[in-house]
Structure formats: C-alpha cells, structure tokens
Amino acid sequence: MKSVKTQKKVFITVDVLLILMMVLPIVAGIVLKVLTTPPSEGVSISGAMVFFSIPMPFQDLLITESQINSFLVLISIFGLCLYMTHGIKVKAETRRQRIAEWIVEKVEGMVNESMGDYFKGYAPFIAAIMALSAFSSLLSLFGLYPPTSDLNIVAGWAILVFVLITYYKLKSGPLKYLKGFFEPVPFLAPMNLIGEFATPLSMSFRHYGNVLSGTVISTLLASALQGLSHMILGWLPGALSNIPIFQIGIPAVLSIYFDVFSGCLQAYIFAMLTMMYVSGGFSYDDYLLRKQKRQQKRMAKNKKSKTKNNLEVV
Amino acid sequence: MQTLDVISVNIWQILISLINLVLLFLILKKFLFKPVKKMLQKRKDEIDAQYQAAADAEQTSEEHRKEWEATLATADAKADIILQNATENAKRHGDRLVMEAQEKAESIIRVAQNEAELERRKATEGIKREIVEVSGALTEKMLEREINVQDHHALIESFIEKIGEENDGNN
C-alpha cells in the first residue's frame, strides 16, 4: 500500500520535473529577452541579437538569440517527448500517451505514404524537422525571436537535406547521377548544376523569408496602428492621447496568421519537400540492380580465389 | 547590444543548427518513437495473443460440439439397438410363453386323452365283464348248468375280444 503511494508520488514528481523541463527553457528565454533588449527607439527591423562571439577559423562563431532559442526549443521538445512517453502502458490510459501514439502513427503514415517503404526509418527525422521548425516559429508567440527567421538556422537544415538527397542519388548509381547533369542536352549542364544547388537554397529562403516577413509585417503594422491611434486621439490632452486603441486586438488576429498558421504551414512544407526530394532522388530499382551486380562481382571474385586456393592445395 | 543583419551567413551557426537538427532527430527517435513503437508492438502482440486464445477457444468448443453431436448420433443408434433388442426379447419371451402354453395345453389334452382312454378302457372292461356275466348267465340258463365264471373267464374274454376285433375291423 505504502509502496504504491510512494510510487505514485515519484511518478508525479517526475511529471512535474518534465513539465518544468518543457516550460523553463521558454521562461528562461523570455527572461533573457527582457533583460537584454535595449529600450526601443522607433521601428527597427534587424536580425538576431549577438550575445558574444567565439573566435574560430574562417569566421567567428556568433552566439546569437537564434542559437540560444533553438537550443531552448530543443530542450523543450526533449522534455515534451519524455513527458508524453512517461508511464507509457499497453492499455492507453492517459491523454498524453494517446497524443504520442497519434503523432507517431501519423508521421509514420505520412512518411510511408510519400516516401515508400524503403524510407521507413525517416519518420523520426521528418518529425524532428516538423517539430523544430514549428516550435521555433511558434516562439514568436512568446515575444521571443523565432530562430526560423534567421537564415543560418534554416540553411543548416536545408544543407542536411541536400546532403541526404545527394547521398541517395549517389546510392542509386554515381555514374547515373553524373550523367543526369548532361541530360537532356549536354550544354544544359550548368543549369542542372544550379538547379541542384537551388534546392536547398530555395528551401531555406522560403522558410526563412516567410517567417521573417511575418515579423516584418507585424512590426510595421504595429507601428502603423500606433500612428493611427495617435492621429485620432492626438487632440486629447495629456496621457489620453497615447491610448493605443487600434493596437488592441488587431495585431492578435494577424499574429494568428503570421505566427501560428504560417509557422506550422512552413514546417509542414519544409517536411514535405524534404520527403519529396529525398525519396525522389532515389530509385529503388536502380539500387537493387547495382547491389545485384556488386554481389555477382564479389561472387565471381570469391570463385576465382577459391579456384586459386584449390590449385594451390593441389 | 549588437544585432545581426537581416540576411547574414555564418558557417558555424549553420553547422550548429545542422547538428541541432540531428540531435533532435536522435532525441525523437530514442525518446518518442522507440518507446511508443515498442508499446505498440507489445499491444499488437497482446492482441494477437488474445485473438489466438479466442481462436483456440472456438476450436475447442467446436471440437466439443462435434464430439457431442457424434455421441448424440451414436445415442440414436444405441437407442435403436436397445429398442430392437427389447422387441426381440419381448418377441422371444412371447413366443416362449405361447409355446409353453401350447405345450401345457397339449399335455393337458394328452392327459385328458389318456384319462378318456382309461375311462373308455374301464368302460369296455366293465361292459365286457357284464357281457361275460350276461353271457355266462345266458349260457348257464341255456345249458342249465353252472358255469364257473372264474374258470371260463379267459375263454370268454378271448372270445369277446375276437368279436371286438371283428367289430373294429368292420368299422
């Protein structure tokens, strides 16, 4: 009886710790933001704040808001994962377990549907892209700097995706991959090369541009609304002229579009494109053919060495 | 505090964000997908086991049903056999009873016949004796002398017998 009680207590304590692990990074980010933001002077649109820089070869490593925030998101998602799978049972009792199951099944179904059976193991990767992108964009809801509006962050993901695309293209035949550049006509090779590199570039710029433009429009609109309310209430004496009547409510509606909808949509698009490009560059039939050929070669080699050995024995 | 330009490229930042994504991939794989899939597999196994158990139960019940049906069928046959036996027994018994009755009747008849025969014989004997006496008396009268019935009894008797035989033959 007592052991059950203590077990329950331990369970709840772990739960609380995990929830803190989810919430604390965001709180820390907000605190950091409040402490470090200089008093604003009018409308200004700029990149992430640089906290400090570490000297490195080629370029200094700048530790910026986006770096910190993406780490915070990482920790938060880690906590969320642990929380959702904490106390997981065969008989689903808790809502969080059902949510975790739903996520896993949905992502796996999506990956299976658009990438095929061969890429089954990609489900966590796609889930990681979606979660990181969506949560990073959603950070702007807390007034934090969304890391996805920093080109470097999104470019990192796009480069990883590009590496994967190229890897799978090479896997289905390096010669075929090289030949693909000279098709349909050889003089189009430079275009094809540009097209190859345009994939990660377009992916990263699309994502980053969308999130950044949301921020820019929000900022512009906020200042415009401020001006509007000042214009209308300007004749009132004293502090009354500074009542921001238009800044109540309207930015919130826009925020739903630019922060929530756009953020989630971009995450979805990024994940979809990743799946499409990675599975599109890979031809399973060619891969099998290549594998078979290699095996045959190996077998022939083995035979040769065997006959050699036999001869030696004889 | 210093801020970055809106568009700025820093390879180290790119690298760190790349590593972040890989890290999150590993985290999700290890801490979300692995336990959930393990649990789902376990659930699937359990469901499979339950299905198997249900199928087994169905099979055993089916076997039982067949067994019972078979016993029922044989029971009908058995009942038939028992009925047949019983009828046969009854028939045999009845036959025996009838036979016994017949035998008894026959024996009764035989006894009665014997008795009748005896009676008849007695009667004939009596008649004979009377005839002898009568004839004795007649002859006594006719011869006027006494005939010793005792002495001539055998003679007379043979004589009557002869008459009787002649009568029998005529008849």
Provide, as residue numbers in chain A, all residues whose Cβ is less than 8 Å from the Cβ of B16. 61, 67, 156
A residues 157-186 closer than 8 Å to B (CB): 157, 159-160
- Confidence (pLDDT) at B145: 59
Q: Is B3 helix (H, G, I), strand (E, B) or coil?
A: strand
Domain ranges of chain B: 11-170
Looking at chain B, the whole-number percentage of residues with pLDDT higher than 90 is 40
- Confidence (pLDDT) at A243: 72
Report which of residues A238 and A291 the model is more confident about.
A291
- Confidence (pLDDT) at A291: 85
Return the minimum-mean-pLDDT range out of A202-206, A247-251, A290-294, B67-71. Answer: A247-251
Q: What is the mean pLDDT of chain B?
A: 85
Distance in Å, alpha carbon of A151 to nearest chain B alpha carbon: 7
Joined together, the tokens standing for residue A66 give 């986006």
Return the minimum-mean-pLDDT range out of A117-131, A138-152, A294-308, B66-80. Answer: A294-308
Q: pLDDT confidence of A265, banded at 50, 70, 90?
A: very high
- Whether residue B14 is predicted with pLDDT greater than 80 in this model: the reply is yes
- Confidence (pLDDT) at A2: 65
Question: Are B17 and A101 within 8 A, CB to CB?
Answer: no
For chains A and B, CB pairs below 8 A equal 146
- Whether residue B129 is predicted with pLDDT greater than 90 in this model: the reply is no
Question: Are B4 and A47 within 8 A, CB to CB?
Answer: yes
Question: Are A45 and B6 within 8 A, CB to CB?
Answer: yes
pLDDT tens figures, B146-156: 566 666 677 77
Return the minimum-mean-pLDDT range out of A184-188, A266-270, B68-72. Answer: A184-188
pLDDT tens figures, A203-257: 999 998 998 888 888 888 888 888 888 788 777 777 776 777 777 778 888 888 8
Q: pLDDT confidence of A314, banded at 50, 70, 90?
A: low
CB atoms < 10 A from the CB of B56, how many? Answer: 10
pLDDT tens figures, A17-71: 999 999 999 999 999 888 887 776 666 777 778 888 888 888 888 888 888 999 9
Report which of residues B25 and A141 the model is more confident about.
B25
Looking at chain A, the whole-number percentage of residues with pLDDT higher than 90 is 31
Chain Cα centroid distance, residue A208: 11
Question: Are B32 and A127 within 8 A, CB to CB?
Answer: yes
- Main-chain phi, psi angles of A167, to 5 degrees: -60, -45
A residues 48-77 closer than 8 Å to B (CB): 48-51, 56, 58-62, 64, 66-67, 70-71, 74, 77
Q: Is A209 on the interface with B (CB under 8 A)?
A: no
Top mean-pLDDT range of A24-38, A81-95, B22-36, B137-151: B22-36
**Average pLDDT estimate for B96-114:** 90
Residue of B nearest to A52 (CA): B2
Return the minimum-mean-pLDDT range out of A99-103, A189-193, B92-96, B156-160. Answer: B156-160
pLDDT tens figures, A131-156: 999 999 988 888 888 889 888 899 99
8 Å CB contact between B71 and B64? no
Among A51, A144, A44, A33, smallest CA distance to B2 is for A51
CA distance A93 to A95: 7
Provide, as residue numbers in chain B, all residues whose Cβ is less than 8 Å from the Cβ of A49. 1-4
- Confidence (pLDDT) at A126: 93
- Whether residue B88 is predicted with pLDDT greater than 80 in this model: the reply is yes
Looking at chain A, the whole-number percentage of residues with pLDDT higher than 70 is 95
CA distance A196 to A178: 12
Among A243, A225, A247, A226, smallest CA distance to A235 is for A243
- Confidence (pLDDT) at A190: 87
Q: What is the mean pLDDT of chain A?
A: 86
A residues 101-140 closer than 8 Å to B (CB): 101, 103-105, 123-125, 127-129, 131-132
Distance in Å, alpha carbon of B71 to nearest chain A alpha carbon: 44
Distance in Å, alpha carbon of B18 to nearest chain A alpha carbon: 4
Distance in Å, alpha carbon of B68 to nearest chain A alpha carbon: 39
CB atoms < 10 A from the CB of A278, how many? Answer: 23
Provide, as residue numbers in chain A, all residues whose Cβ is less than 8 Å from the Cβ of B11. 58-59
Q: pLDDT confidence of B169, banded at 50, 70, 90?
A: low
What are all long-range contacts of A110-114, with beta carbons under 8 Å and residues at least 24 apart?
Answer: A110/A275, A111/A275, A114/A272, A114/A275, A114/A276, A114/A279
- Confidence (pLDDT) at A63: 86
Distance in Å, alpha carbon of A155 to nearest chain B alpha carbon: 6
Q: pLDDT confidence of B31, banded at 50, 70, 90?
A: very high
